[in-house]
Amino acid sequence: MKRRKIAAGNWKMNLRRNEALQLAMALRDTEAQAEVILFPPFVYLTELIAATVGKPIQYGAQNLCDRENGAFTGEISAPMLQSIGVSHVLIGHSERRQYFHEDHELLKTKLQVAMSYGLHPVFCCGEPREVRLAEQQENYVMKQLEESLFALSEEAMQQVVIAYEPVWAIGTGLTATPGQAQEMHAFIRKQLNWRYGADVAQQVRILYGGSVTAGNAAALFTQPDVDGGLVGGASLKAEDFTAIIHAAS
């Protein structure tokens, strides 16, 4: 099955309002085969969605609350995101796991709540450096999948995008080699196959993330099981991200 590639930009906690608008404007007319999904900070979502209506850009949130509504000061819920036209949500980014102590159980709940409001989860997984050095990366990622993602039904899994992001590669300038990425992506697809069957395994997009640049994107994205990228730093520059979109197309 031919999977449509995705170029996803995770802006993290960067950019002022004008910079965010300028970036989205610079990207909105990019002609591409790939699906383009932007993950700006929450506060800009509504405005960016309005500014790019009718353009082939989808929007995602970088996080969501595990509760649907109520007295949870400072949180943002799945129904709120749904109501403003957000289609995707990052769940389990390593920065959330590390700095905000999000554990498997919480991520499992976030996945369920995202699904129940029709949001496509982009579920992030990936091992830290010491795990890679000990060659335990497959076991580590397997556990992340098993403890959170694989609680989803077969039907739900078809709505999911997976992002493999080795922690040692995020924001470090160290990128997994195309071979390392392919090896892990093939492993993840094998687990999907085993759990959910061949159709689902062939359908789910698995993105690579971790120091993707305009220079290395094509070599990564042409690996058979790499279906595009989740890009941090390089997604903040229109020229670089445009090149990455083209590499995914």
User: How far is 165 from 241, CA to CA, in rounded Å?
Assistant: 18
In the complex with ligand PGA, the residue whose CB is nearer, 65 or 230, is 230
What sign has the CA pseudo-torsion 48, 52, 57, 59? positive
| Annotated catalytic residue within 88, 93, 120, 185 | 93
Question: Segment 140-169, which members bind ligand PGA (CB under 6 A)?
Answer: 165
How many residues does this entry show for the chain? 249
Exactly one of 60, 92, 166, 232 binds ligand PGA (CB under 6 A); that residue is 232
113 binds ligand PGA (CB under 6 A): no
Would residue 105 show up in a list of annotated catalytic residues for this protein? no
171 binds ligand PGA (CB under 6 A): yes
In the complex with ligand PGA, the residue whose CB is nearer, 64 or 201, is 64
Q: Which residues contact 120 (CB under 8 A, 6 or more apart)?
A: 60, 87, 88, 89, 114, 159, 160, 161
Least separation, in Å, of the C-beta of 59 and ligand PGA? 16
In the complex with ligand PGA, the residue whose CB is nearer, 201 or 234, is 234
211 binds ligand PGA (CB under 6 A): yes
- Alpha carbon dihedral 136, 162, 121, 17, in 10-degree steps, equals 100
Span near ligand PGA by CB under 6 A; candidates 42-50, 57-65, 106-114, 231-239: 231-239
The token pair that represents 103 in the structure block: 């554990």
- Give, in order, the Cα–Cα distances in Å from 38 to each of 126, 168, 183, 242: 21, 23, 27, 12
Would residue 120 show up in a list of annotated catalytic residues for this protein? no
| Annotated catalytic residue within 35, 95, 102, 165 | 165
User: How far is 15 from 41, CA to CA, in rounded Å?
Assistant: 9
Q: Which residue is nearest to ligand PGA (CB)?
A: 232
Which residues are the active-site residues? 93, 165
What are the residues binding ligand PGA (CB under 6 A)?
A: 10, 165, 170-171, 209-212, 230-234
